[in-house]
Amino acid sequence: MTIETTIVIPTLGRPSLWVLLDALASQTVPLHHPVIVVDDRPDGDDLAVGDLPIDVEVVRTGGGGPARARNIGWRHTRTPWVSFLDDDVVPDVSWYRDLIADLRLLEDYPEQEIFGSQGRLTVPLPDDRRPTDWERGTASLETSAWITADMSYRRDRIAAVGGFDERFRRAFREDADLALRLGADRGRIVTGSRHVTHPVRPSDDWASLRAQAGNADDILMRAIHGPGWHERAKASEGRRKAHLATTASGALAVASLLSGRRRLATAGALGWLAGTVELARHRIASGPRTADEIRRMLLTSAAIPAAATWHLLRGIGRHHDAPPWRGIPELVLLDRDGTLIEDVPYNGDPALVRPLPGVREALDRLRAEGVRLMIVTNQSAIGRGVISEQQADAVDDRVIELLGPFEAVLRCPHSPDDRCECRKPGPDLIKQALASTGVHPDRAVMVGDIGSDVDAAKHAGVSGILIPTLQTRREEVDAAPRTCAGLVQAVDQMLGGVW
């Protein structure tokens, strides 16, 4: 059995991307599928990946963070496995061969179903001095569980849980969160034999301060996974409690000073100073103790407790009651007449095709997320002998010309008298769409303007959204599981995880 996986690399266009692509182009065995590079820069020219002996497909996200970039990446894949690589790792020359061997083991010996395989990672550090704070932070990747720097997942398992939680806006907890939702703490993810190197990137004075934003992500982790998530995620709790105490002392000092209570102000100031000195001492003692590193540690240690506290409060405000992540649909099925274009009964004339307002933009937003789109339409005019198949084709071609590509146009040509199962509210066309894409019914939506559209959805086990028009009957609106004023609103809801 051959092992099929697609490599997905989210990137901010850092120079390390080209080092990585070169390493993939120099593998001992050739890659089976094009590499998908997900360009997550908000703007700028398209990435020039240059002349490489491997196929690279570049997808742009417009920015949005690594969780969303990875989601867009895996939705573009069509293989049973997806292999995520961060854009700052360098795979060994045998990496791809070892990857295939790692995944083959999981396919050939499925005593227990395994959903993920993590690669081994090394962070080279200087051997002539102790590592800096920044270098130690990077080196901690070596022992971190379930990091996505080199992680392969079964695609259907990622899809089933709606992918990475895009409320994690930075590369910090989003990988541990997905791993836990996939059952990593129940043995669903193993470590393989393949190996990458993760060089330490250059840094500036303030990296450790910026990293405090991760405190807000910890609040989201707690909301999703409950107390005790640190242990389940094998994550360190860090110095949060000490930071809070230091910040509280500092706040006490300021408040007391303002209200003229000098003794209390002095006590608070001493408390703040003690906390700050302890933090700086700890960070300096573990490091190379050069003048530059000491300066950097003193500077940031004074600010880190307050920054950590601020981000904790920010996280509580934003995430304390966060609902489970649902993600967006993988497949959106669209009725044609009255949903995408004006309903012209029994139309066989492409010149009469008029898209409804905002539809093109709404569809393009779904396309940008990598959502698969199909049209599912009843054309009984063919069965009734009013128009020909060729006329119906010409109308569909015009729809595609105006509204962009669809993966398929699925059509029932029968009249109601034929009593077929493909005419909506029959489920057959939707089932056919699910079968041909391999998308699970839980991850698909059918959008239409009348009751038979949402009934077809129900019969096929997918979500239904009704967009009523003036022709839609009142009882159909009342019976619909979900209604929206138009496709624009329906897409807003889907992209917000409500569908």
Q: Which residue carries 């894409």 as its tokens?
A: 437
Distance CA 457, CA 454 (A): 5
Positive or negative CA dihedral for 274, 228, 161, 220? Answer: negative
Pick from 445, 362, 431, 348: nearest CA to 397: 348
Query: Which residue bears the tokens 């990475």?
Result: 164
The Cα 95–Cα 85 span in angstroms is 11
- Cβ 334 to Mg ion, closest distance in Å? 10
Give 175 or 337: the residue with its C-beta nearer to Mg ion.
Answer: 337
CB 333 to Mg ion: min, Å: 12
Kindly tell me which of 113 and 421 has the beta carbon lying closer to Zn ion.
Answer: 421
Residue 310 or 346 with smaller CB distance to Mg ion? 346
> Which range, of 157-165, 360-368, 421-429, 441-449, touches Zn ion by CB under 5 A?
421-429
Give, as ranges, the residues between 203 and 242 that touch Mg ion (CB under 5 A). none
x/- string (CB under 5 A) for Zn ion, residues 214-253? ----------------------------------------
**Phi/psi of residue 127, nearest 5 degrees:** -100, 0
When binding is defined by CB under 5 A, the residue of 91, 305, 338, 451 that contacts Mg ion is 338
Q: Retrieve residue 324's tokens.
A: 């489970």
Binding status of residue 422 toward Zn ion by CB under 5 A: yes
Q: Does 335 participate in binding Mg ion (rule CB under 5 A)?
A: yes
In eight-state DSSP terms, residue 35 is E
Nearest residue (CB) to Mg ion, 308 versus 375: 375
By CB under 5 A, is residue 337 in contact with Mg ion? yes
Smallest gap from residue 338 Cβ to Mg ion (A): 4
- Residue 338 interacts, among Mg ion, Zn ion, none and using kind-specific CB cut-offs from 5 to 8 Å, with Mg ion
Q: How many residues sit close enough to Zn ion to count as binding (CB under 5 A)? A: 5
Looking at the Cβ atoms of 86 and 476, the one nearer to Mg ion is: 476
Helix ranges restricted to H, 4-47:
16-25
Is residue 288 within 8 A of residue 132, CB to CB? The reply is yes
Q: State which residue, 165 or 335, has the beta carbon closest to Mg ion.
A: 335
Q: Distance (Å, rounded) from C-alpha 32 to C-alpha 49?
A: 19
Q: Does 420 bind Zn ion (CB under 5 A)?
A: yes
Applying CB under 5 A, which part among 57-65, 89-97, 116-124, 445-453 lies near Mg ion? 445-453
Structure tokens at 41: 């820069």
Question: DSSP 3-state assignment of 75?
Answer: helix
Residue type, 314: R
Q: Measured from the CB atom, is 218 or 337 closer to Mg ion?
A: 337
Determine if 414 is a binding residue for Zn ion (CB under 5 A). yes
Is residue 102 part of the annotated active site? The answer reads no
The listed partner (Zn ion, Mg ion, none) that binds 414, CB under 5 to 8 Å by sort, is Zn ion
Q: In what order do the strands lie in the sheet with 331-334?
A: 408-412, 372-378, 331-334, 444-448, 463-466
Tally helices (H) and strands (E) across the chain: 19, 13
Q: Which residues of 289-308 are buried (b: 16+ CB within 10 A; e: fewer)?
A: eeeebeebbeebbbebbbbb
Residue 335 annotated to the active site: yes
Q: Which of Zn ion, Mg ion, none interacts with 412 (beta carbon under 5 to 8 A by kind)? A: Zn ion
CA dist 422 → 348, 413, 416, 426, 479 (Å): 20, 9, 10, 5, 22
* Residue 422 C-beta: closest distance to Zn ion, Å: 3
Binding of residue 449 to Mg ion (CB under 5 A)? yes
Binding test (CB under 5 A) with Zn ion, winner from 100, 184, 297, 412? 412
Q: Which residue in 70, 188, 423, 424 binds Zn ion (CB under 5 A)?
A: 423
Out of 335, 396, 453, 455, the active site residue is: 335
Report in angstroms how near the CB of residue 473 gets to Mg ion at its nearest: 13
Q: Which is nearer to Zn ion, 48 or 435 (CB)?
A: 435
CB nearer Zn ion, residue 251 or residue 420:
420
Instruction: Confirm or reject binding of residue 476 to Mg ion (CB under 5 A).
Output: no
- What residue 422 binds from Mg ion, Zn ion, none (CB within 5 to 8 A, per partner kind)? Zn ion
The least CB distance from residue 377 to Mg ion, in Å, is: 8
Q: What is the DSSP string of 92-131?
A: -TTHHHHHHHHHHHHHH-TTS---EEEEEEE----SSSPP
Q: How far, in Å, CA of 221 to CA of 240, rounded?
A: 15
Query: Smallest distance from the beta carbon of 454 to Mg ion, in angstroms?
Result: 11
CB neighbour list of residue 140: distance below 8 Å, 6 or more residues apart: none
Which residues have a Cβ under 8 Å from the Cβ of 204 and sit 6 or more positions away? Answer: none
> Where does residue 259 rank: exposed (0-12), middle (13-18), buried (19+ CB within 10 A)?
exposed
CB 149, min distance to Zn ion, A: 50
By CB under 5 A, which span of 249-257, 293-301, 420-428, 457-465 interacts with Zn ion?
Answer: 420-428
Q: What is the DSSP letter of 146?
A: S
For residues 123 to 152, the per-residue mask of contacts with Zn ion, x marking binding by CB under 5 A and - elsewhere, is ------------------------------
- Give the total of residues touching Mg ion (CB under 5 A): 4
Alpha-carbon gap, residue 34 to 245, rounded angstroms: 51
Question: 345 — phi, psi (to 5°)?
Answer: -55, 135
CB of 450 to Mg ion, least distance (A): 6
Residues in the site for Mg ion, rule: CB under 5 A? Answer: 335, 337-338, 449
Catalytic (active-site) positions: 335, 337
Residues in the site for Zn ion, rule: CB under 5 A? Answer: 412, 414, 420, 422-423
